[in-house]
Amino acid sequence: MRHQGGQLQQMLRTLRGHGGWLSVWLLAAGWLALPSLGIAAEGAPAGPVEYRDIPGIGSRNIVWVIAQLHLLLAGFVLGVPIFAWLCEIVGWKSGEKRYDKLAKEFTKLLTSSYATTALFGGILLFLLIGFYPKLMNYLTDIFFPSFVFYCILFLLETATLYLYWYGWDAMQDGGKKTFHIFLGFLLNLFAFFIMIVPNSWATFQASPVVIAEGTDLARAWAATWNPTWWPVNIHRLIANVVLGGYICGAYAGIRYLAARNAEERDHYDWMGYVGNFIGVFGLLPLPFAGYWLMREIYQYNQQMGITLMGGFLSWLFILQAMLIGVLFLGSNYYFWLGITHRIPGSEHQYKKPIMTMLVILLLCLGVWMTPHSLVASLEEARKMGGTHHPLLGVFGVMSAKMTVANLMILVTFMSFIMYWRAGKQETATWAKVARSVMGAVLILAGIAVIVLGVWGYFVPAIIRINYFSTSQVLIVLFVMLTITPLTALLLKSARTTTEMVWGRMPPRAGYALVLNAVMVILLMTLMGYARSSSRVHWHVYGVMRDSSQYAFSPALGYAAAFMALNTFLFCMLVAFIFWVATMGDKGKATGYGGGEKGKLPHGVPAMAGGSPPRGNEQ
């Protein structure tokens, strides 16, 4: 070792002349190459190597960072095409060029992120093969056919993305545009499969099934179709849209803050609005998908469910509540800022409803964050009569949390509806009836959710989980599915009383968009840790035990430091990618729809709520 150390010093001396940075990079590369030299290999002395490690840093820590960055990038890359494509369709159908430009801008961010995602995927694969040969060998044995399928999907996705992006300008008219839209559909189709195939590998680790004898394909298919596969697929699909939306919103927020002229301010204010809208649009059904996933986990294995919700990870859900609460508040705050700044004269009109919604959200957040049991000294516990607080303890149970989560979704939904309707006067003859129906639906739904929540205290958990909580979810979904089309119909013939003015948002709006994006990224890192830790000391739950020195889940504080680090690294990475991608834009005119003023796409709620930016009016 001394000899090696001497060589190292000599190397460093040699490299110093070529610049310190080079030596740092080479050192880092050498450090990463250590596993290939078999250093710190674990396993039976005579048997095959089961684990490799990098002393000092730890193989798990490296995999944690790389896997998290890869997953976040993948989430963004798979989420963006969904709404880029939808924006393109809206632009195509409505004839509004600004939506087409926006879709193109989203896709530009996508193309530049795609290669980086693949790069991190490649690094992750090498690290996994290097650090966990036993596990990877086991998974390869089961999933080899899906590995092949995955590679084919990547080829198809890459080819489609090239055509979609590079053919954008060339395929603008007539049948070519239709073909371009079809390419967008294919892009999303392949992207969906690219997401669900690796999901099967990860979910198999958490909820393995019996793999009977049979062909390789049959075995791979049996393992793929495991109990948590579809819940995770749906949850991730929605979460990717949320992530993509909020990141695009944050991008617009930063560009808005740094805007140098009115045109830029208008454009990025509008883009921030669209990004936030997409984020909220996905955020509303996301808790339902999460609930379904948890339900499946409980049904699959009670112990895993208890480890998550009642075991050592129970405090994690208090952090989750905090992050989701801030996200809801941030999203609503941005809506409210929009109402008061983009719609002149509406400050006083909406002051009371906004204050009411704020109070409801804060109260709900308080209940959601109430822990089930408190950390108390013996004396404190004796005074309280247990580890539950005599008054607040009642809010620490799932019945209360499910109720407030549903109420927060309802409030956020109403916040959006309020924003959508602001500055417009309904002219339909049935408008009054429709408003009454919507009001009644909302009030009755709110009451029903609360009643079910309170009732939930007096019934066995199984009834609450199977019937009451599900009913609460269905009620909220019913509200959304009733009020959204009704509002769209109502506004179709509405008269605009106050034009929405873009580019007038205060700087804190930009920061709210950034905050929302950071919250979503943190949430993904937090729940990634939860998903991984729920397997406790198993690589494949109940089947293959983790016998490495890292067969433990670190405490929340340590894990949170990693989550924060990963979030920061991801933000910097995305900022760098976006900076590179938009480098050539400087100096170009921001001609998003300039001179091509069009009407708002009626009946398309996603893009509702705004007159075209000022640039369009010139």
Partner 1 sequence: MDEVVKLQLIGLTVVGLGIVILLFIRAQFARVIGFVAIVLGLFSLVALSVPQMASLPPAEEKFDIATVKTPTDMAAIGQKIFFSKGQCALCHSIGPSESARCPDLKGIGSKLSREFIFESLTQPQAYIYLDYRHEGQPKEYPARMPYINKNPIGLTKNEILSVIAFLQQMSGEPISVSPSELEVPGQAPSAPVKAGDSGPVAVAQAR
Least distance to partner 1, CB of residue 359, Å? 23
Stretch that binds partner 1, among 184-192, 354-362, 384-392, 605-613 (CB under 8 A): 384-392
Which region, judged by CB under 8 A, interacts with partner 1, from 341-349, 471-479, 494-502, 512-520?
Answer: 512-520
CB atoms within 10 A of CB 185: 14
State the DSSP string of 37-77.
GTTTEES-SSS---EE--TTT-HHHHHHHHHHHHHHHHHHH
Shortest distance (Å) from residue 556 CB to partner 1: 5
d(CA 332, CA 321): 16
Q: How far is the CB of 568 from partner 1 (least distance, A)?
A: 6
437 Cβ contact list (under 8 Å, min separation 6): 486
Name the residue nearer to partner 1 (CB basis): 553 or 611: 553
Site string for partner 1, 262-281 (x = CB under 8 A): --------------------
Q: Which of residues 315-334 bind partner 1 (CB under 8 A)?
A: 315, 318-319, 322-323
In whole angstroms, the minimum distance from the beta carbon of 352 to partner 1 comes to 30
Contact residue for partner 1 among 121, 184, 208, 593 (CB under 8 A): 208
Q: If binding is defined by CB under 8 A, does position 481 make contact with partner 1?
A: no
Residues 124 and 74: beta-carbon distance below 8 Å:
no
Binding residue (CB under 8 A) for partner 1 from 554, 591, 598, 605: 554
Token pair, residue 334, equals 């941005």
Amino acid at 608: A
Least distance (Å) between residue 333 CB and partner 1: 14
Contact string 236-265 vs partner 1 (x = CB under 8 A)? ------------------x--xx-------
- Residue 226 makes contact with partner 1 by CB under 8 A: yes
Q: How far is the CB of 373 from partner 1 (least distance, A)?
A: 7
To the nearest whole angstrom, how small is the minimum distance from the Cβ of residue 139 to partner 1?
13
Interface pick for partner 1 out of 44, 46, 210, 378 (rule CB under 8 A): 210
Phi-psi region of 580 (alpha: psi -120 to 50; beta: other; left: phi over 0): alpha
Interface with partner 1, residue 532, by CB under 8 A: no
How far is the C-alpha of 602 from the C-alpha of 106, rounded, in Å? 23
Question: d(Cα 73, Cα 244) in Å, to the nearest integer?
Answer: 10
Sort residue 384 into left (φ over 0), alpha (ψ -120 to 50) or beta.
alpha
Q: Which of 28, 454, 551, 580 binds partner 1 (CB under 8 A)?
A: 551
Report the distance separating Cα 343 and Cα 356, nearest Å: 20
In this structure, the number of other CB atoms found within 10 A of the CB of residue 368 comes to 24
- 40 part of the interface to partner 1, by CB under 8 A: no
Nearer to partner 1, 346 or 566 (CB): 566
Rounded least distance, CB 325 to partner 1, Å: 12
Comparison of 481 and 572: residue with beta carbon closer to partner 1: 572
Residues in 358-377 at the binding interface with partner 1, rule: CB under 8 A: 372-373, 375
Binding mask 414-443 for partner 1 (x = CB under 8 A): ------------------------------
Size of the site for partner 1 (CB under 8 A): 67
- Sole binder of partner 1 in the list 108, 219, 341, 388 (CB under 8 A): 388
CA–CA separation, 595 and 615 (whole Å): 8
Assess 538 for contact with partner 1 (CB under 8 A): yes
42 in Cβ contact with 50 (< 8 Å): yes
Residue carrying structure tokens 């979030």: 567
Rg (CA), the chain: 26
Residues 6+ positions from 202 with CB-CB distance below 8 Å:
232, 531
| Secondary structure class of 425 (helix, strand, coil) | strand
Name which position in 263, 541, 592, 612 contacts partner 1 (CB under 8 A): 541
* 383 counts as binding partner 1 under rule CB under 8 A: no
Task: Report if residue 553 touches partner 1, rule: CB under 8 A.
Answer: yes
H or E stretch covering 128 = helix 97-131
CA pair distance 248, 577, nearest whole angstrom: 13
Residue 515 interacts with partner 1 (CB under 8 A)?
Answer: yes
Quote the Cα angle for 77-503-362, to 5°: 70
The CB-of-569 to partner 1 minimum distance in angstroms stands at 11
CB 117 within 8 A of CB 73: yes
Map residue 114 onto helix, strand or coil: helix
Exposure letters 571-604 (e unless 16+ CB within 10 A, then b): bebbeebbeebbeeeeeeebebbbeebeebbeee
Residues that bind partner 1 (CB under 8 A): 207-211, 226-227, 254, 257-258, 299-304, 306-307, 310-313, 315, 318-319, 322-323, 372-373, 375, 386-388, 460-462, 511, 514-515, 518, 522, 533, 536-538, 541-544, 546, 551-561, 563-564, 567-568, 571, 575
